[in-house]
Amino acid sequence: MFSSNNPSKQGKKEPAAVNNLLNIIGPGTKINGDLSSEGDFRVDGAIEGHVTVKQRLVLGESGTITGDIDARDATIAGYIKGNVTVSETLVLKANSKIDGDIATGKIIIESGASFNGRCSMNAHVTRVSTKTVPYGAEENGQPT
């Protein structure tokens, strides 16, 4: 009654629907270490470590991340101390603060949001370089 008579489905495992996975770090929770998620991720607590999210990252107003972030999409309302790499769309809410460089495909910045660092936007986002060049210094023989 519940078994499948379709021979193409027998013996095959169906992949998990990672788009529906939601991971939450609640207020008052602190995690030390790198995190990786195949699904969506919401942080209202504190993380000290690098965060990699294959889908959407949401950092709530009470959330803090000390470490680099790599995500497909991100909405930030809390505090980040580290570099942020978002391959598609980054939204900085009014209360957000980022101390670090940003690399993203698209960025939306609400009034009141702040970031201290460089921001680069392009169609093919690569990880933010940690190499620092003083303002006005030459890199590869070309003025910056």
Read off the pLDDT of residues 54-82 as tens digits, 9 standing for 90 and up. Answer: 999 999 999 999 999 999 999 999 999 99
- Other C-beta atoms closer than 10 Å to the C-beta of 76 total 28
- In terms of DSSP bridges, do strands 138-139 and 142-143 run parallel, antiparallel, or are they unpaired? antiparallel
- Residue 78's domain comprises 19-143
Structurally, the chain folds into a number of domains equal to 1
Q: Assess if residue 7 is contained within a domain.
A: no
Q: For 83-134, how does the pLDDT look when each residue is reduced to its tens digit (9 = 90+)?
A: 999 999 999 999 999 999 999 999 999 999 999 999 999 755 555 555 555 5
pLDDT of amino acid 22: 80
Q: Assess if residue 95 is contained within a domain.
A: yes
Q: Assess if residue 116 is contained within a domain.
A: yes
Q: Residue 31 has which token pair?
A: 């995690």
Q: Assess if residue 13 is contained within a domain.
A: no
Whole-prediction pTM? 0.72
